[in-house]
């Protein structure tokens, strides 16, 4: 919605049509595509739709899953691979397939603090997000004509975070920590994260955009984009 308010056409992609349609209904500049980007057919659908656009300003790789949650010794191979396909593979495959249209444009990969902190029961998520951050760095090393960056959006008030607060396969202290963040209103709102991402995609110059992995809790950039009613409350682990 924020990008549409700035005058950009937006294509949202996912598997659940009712949620996509709900998002698209908020602006005539937002369209949606029902596609599973973990499959070749879904990727081809997205590429075909993107090729119909006169220009692509940016690609945001936001697909993610916390599953499978549980001990590593019990993770099935199929569930592990599905996690990697959702959290990691699209960030390789989609820029490859869309590369000609992304020249002189931007790719933003949504990583996580879990890329740098191991959590009990979250091995697939932690490993895939760590790999995503490294994949971004490798893209940056190898190409100059497409601007890649990754971002840590913080602990966001989403359905995934709700799942984390009831995880019976997780460390009890971690579950309680998330519950306390929710109860004390210290989770980052989705609209605040959106404001941060829009600033990165639209307002930051290219050399700055690619200069580091962005962390929403880093106060050095807050003055540039963090305006009321948005707030980011840091916490001590």
Whether the model pTM is above 0.85: yes
Q: What is the CATH number of domain 35-154+193-216?
A: 3.40.50.720
| CA–CA gap between residue 136 and residue 122 (Å, rounded) | 21
The catalytically annotated residue of 125, 178, 209, 217 is 125
DSSP output for 81-145: HHHHIIIIIHHHHHHHHTHHHHTTSEEEEE--GGGTS--TT-HHHHHHHHHHHHHHHHHHHH-SS
Q: What is the pLDDT of residues 116-164, one digit of tens each?
A: 999 999 999 999 999 999 999 999 999 999 999 999 999 988 777 777 7
Higher pLDDT, 132 or 184: 132
Which residues, at least 6 apart from 202, have a Cβ–Cβ distance to it below 8 Å?
Answer: 3, 6, 8
Q: What is the pLDDT of residues 186-237, one digit of tens each?
A: 889 999 999 999 999 999 999 999 999 999 999 999 999 999 999 998 765 4
Q: What are the sequence ranges of the domains in the chain?
A: 35-154+193-216
| CA–CA gap between residue 67 and residue 184 (Å, rounded) | 26
Residue 237 is predicted with a pLDDT of 44
Measured in residues, the chain has a length of 237
Q: What is the 3-state secondary structure (H, E, C) of 36-85?
A: CCCCHHHHHHHHHHHHCCCCCCEEEECCCCCCCCCCHHHCCHHHHHHHHH
Q: Does residue 116 have an active-site annotation?
A: no
């Amino acid at each position: 919605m924020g990008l549409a308010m700035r005058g950009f056409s937006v294509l949202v992609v996912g598997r659940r049509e009712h949620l996509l349609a709900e998002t698209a209904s908020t602006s005539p500049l937002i369209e949606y595509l029902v596609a599973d980007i973990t499959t070749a057919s879904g990727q081809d659908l997205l590429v075909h739709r993107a090729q119909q656009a006169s220009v692509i300003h940016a690609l945001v790789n936001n697909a993610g899953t916390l599953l499978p949650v549980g001990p590593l010794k019990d993770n099935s191979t199929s569930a592990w691979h599905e996690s990697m396909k959702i959290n990691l593979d699209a960030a390789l495959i989609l820029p490859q397939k869309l590369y000609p249209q992304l020249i002189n444009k931007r790719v933003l990969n949504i990583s996580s603090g879990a890329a740098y902190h191991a959590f009990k029961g979250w091995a697939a998520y932690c490993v895939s997000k760590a790999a995503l951050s490294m994949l971004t760095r490798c893209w940056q090393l190898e190409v100059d004509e497409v601007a890649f960056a990754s971002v840590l959006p913080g602990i966001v008030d989403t359905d995934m975070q709700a799942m984390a607060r009831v995880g019976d396969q997780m460390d009890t202290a971690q579950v309680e920590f998330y519950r306390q963040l929710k109860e004390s209103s210290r989770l980052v709102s989705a609209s605040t994260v959106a404001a941060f991402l829009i600033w990165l995609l639209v307002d930051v110059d290219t050399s700055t955009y690619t200069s580091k992995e962005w962390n929403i809790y880093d106060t050095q950039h807050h003055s540039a984009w963090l305006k009321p009613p948005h707030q980011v409350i840091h916490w001590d682990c």
